[in-house]
Amino acid sequence: MIEVTLYRGKKVAVFGLARSGLSAAKSLIGGGAEVLAWDDDEKNRNIASGENIPLVDLNSVDWKNISALVLSPGIPHTFPTPHPIVIAARGANVKIISDIYLLMHTQTKAKYIGITGTNGKSTTTSLIAHILKQAGENVQVGGNLGQAALTLEPVGDGGYYVLELSSYQLELMPDCKLHAAVHLNLTPDHLDRHGDMDGYLNAKKNIFANQQKSDAAIIGIDDAPSKKMFDEISARNLQKTFALSVGQKVERGAYVADGILYDAMPSRTEKIMDLRDAAALPGEHNWQNAAAAYMITKFLNVPRGTICELIANFPGLAHRQQKIATIDGIAFINDSKATNPEAAAKALACYKPIYWIAGGKPKGEDLDACAPFYRNIQQAFLIGQAAEMFGKILSPHMPYKISGTLEQAIADAAAQAKQDGMYNPVVLLSPACASFDQFRDFEHRGEVFCKTVLELEQINKRKTA
């Protein structure tokens, strides 16, 4: 745990006592602050109390003598309606910050790398960290991925914190500056929190705030909102700006054409590597992730040959097109991280024939992003709250079955794939939905998929023994 001395001897409110808030409270107490902690959820309060975190109902405090409010990113503070505690703090001109703000203002000699975007953040974050670690750098990975920021280890002078940053987190990082920052893409998501696409875009744009000439902004340009962001950021000319694309040539940055990664500068363009050699990074969406990781690590002076070798041998991430097993010639792929149609479309583009497991808590009322890849799907097996709605959408295009639960969907899909006897079939969990109707989170959903598939594999082995 990193002790935060920034507010030594001062009162700091911490609102939200889940993963990031609990660690922030502990770090502040360790650094000598007087912490007033609260959570609307009694369960979280009880956990905090059991860890000797002082609880004070922030709905009834005098904010005049409180120096800062550390806010958990899941708590609304702008749209649709700010939480009453946030309104009270803001009315007293209390600075509203996050655990990442505390990290960056405590570990001031480290270098900070930030990654955002609607899809691809986790893979890109992990790939950048993989390259830097294998190149011998002192690296810690966190933020929206893995550990809470203040539970990371100090990296010292010149070490790197590689942080996945959500739009919620980026709204709570005033005065923060990233040495290198990536924005991958922007498609409709989290609009309940940001109001509309402009609000979402503005939140993402915060990743480039306060950058200077020695810093890098790397921006995907393959969707209209992100291209708008690139044009605006590059026109300001406050930092080094590079474009990313899969399919379009760029003048300054990196692009991918037919699987080949190119490094483009105004005076020359060079072929870097064939990304089809990176087995854990299939599909155009992963090629964008690889291009982003290449540009960041090149900017950080990792040798080109080292970058290419480490992209090629990247082991991949759990719950992102993760191959679990092949049973009777049927591949089982866990893509539980695909929590919206745009993310699911990336996986649907990579395989054929697909026995698609989809559904959960829907984020919208259509599957338009997936429609171009319906031709790759043999049959759909639907689960969760979205099952009926998805069935109506898909019925003109393919057979489907409402399986209800994930376990039943796996059994149904495996049986259908075996019955059809097609070449190289894939049972793909790529839900296009959030998981909270049936699971704790997308990780839990992916773990259930893995467990069920591995049990199926063991049953099959016993039958054939």
- DSSP, res 366: -
List pLDDT tens digits, range 311-324: 999 999 899 999 99
Higher pLDDT, 364 or 62: 62
Other C-beta atoms within 10 Å of 234: how many?
17
Unique residue bearing structure tokens 């497991």:
357
| Averaged pLDDT, 337-366 | 95
- 5 in any annotated domain: no
| Averaged pLDDT, 214-222 | 98
Q: Are residues 266 and 409 in the same domain?
A: no
Tally of domains in the chain? 3
Q: Are residues 201 and 276 in the same domain?
A: yes
Q: Which structure tokens are listed for 34?
A: 């007087």
Choose the weakest-confidence range: 184-198, 217-231, 244-258, 391-405.
184-198
- DSSP, res 237: T
Q: Are residues 287 and 412 in the same domain?
A: no
Unique residue bearing structure tokens 């935060």:
4
State the pLDDT at residue 203: 86
Among residues 44, 78, 97, the one where a domain terminates is 97
* Predicted structure pTM score: 0.84
- 134 in any annotated domain: yes
The Cα–Cα gap between 427 and 441 comes to 21
Q: Are residues 239 and 132 in the same domain?
A: yes
Q: Are residues 372 and 458 in the same domain?
A: yes
Q: Are residues 236 and 297 in the same domain?
A: yes
| Averaged pLDDT, 143-165 | 94
State the pLDDT at residue 191: 54
List pLDDT tens digits, range 325-343: 999 999 999 999 999 999 9
The Cα–Cα gap between 205 and 183 comes to 8
Q: Are residues 275 and 333 in the same domain?
A: no
Q: Domain with 62 in it: what CATH number?
A: 3.40.50.720
Pairing, β 260-265 against β 253-257: antiparallel
pLDDT at residue 145 above 90? no
- 339 in any annotated domain: yes
Among residues 97, 120, 144, the one where a domain terminates is 97
Q: Domain with 164 in it: what CATH number?
A: 3.40.1190.10
- 274 in any annotated domain: yes
Q: Are residues 386 and 259 in the same domain?
A: no
Q: Are residues 146 and 270 in the same domain?
A: yes
Q: Are residues 285 and 383 in the same domain?
A: no
Domain that holds residue 365: 322-464
List pLDDT tens digits, range 418-447: 999 999 999 999 999 999 999 999 999 999
Give the Å distances, CA to CA, from 264 to 79, 170, 305, 402: 40, 29, 17, 48
State the pLDDT at residue 192: 61
| Averaged pLDDT, 303-309 | 98
State the pLDDT at residue 81: 86
Q: Are residues 93 and 109 in the same domain?
A: no
State the pLDDT at residue 394: 99
Q: Domain with 416 in it: what CATH number?
A: 3.90.190.20
Determine whether 266 is exposed, middle or buried from the number of CB atoms within 10 Å of its CB (0-12, 13-18, 19+).
Answer: exposed
The Cα–Cα gap between 315 and 127 comes to 9
Mean pLDDT taken over the chain? 95
Q: Are residues 274 and 211 in the same domain?
A: yes
Other C-beta atoms within 10 Å of 437: how many?
14
- 436 in any annotated domain: yes
AA letter at 82: P
At residue 67, what are phi and psi to the nearest 5 degrees?
Answer: -80, -30
AA letter at 315: P
| Per-residue pLDDT band at 77 (split at 50, 70, 90) | confident
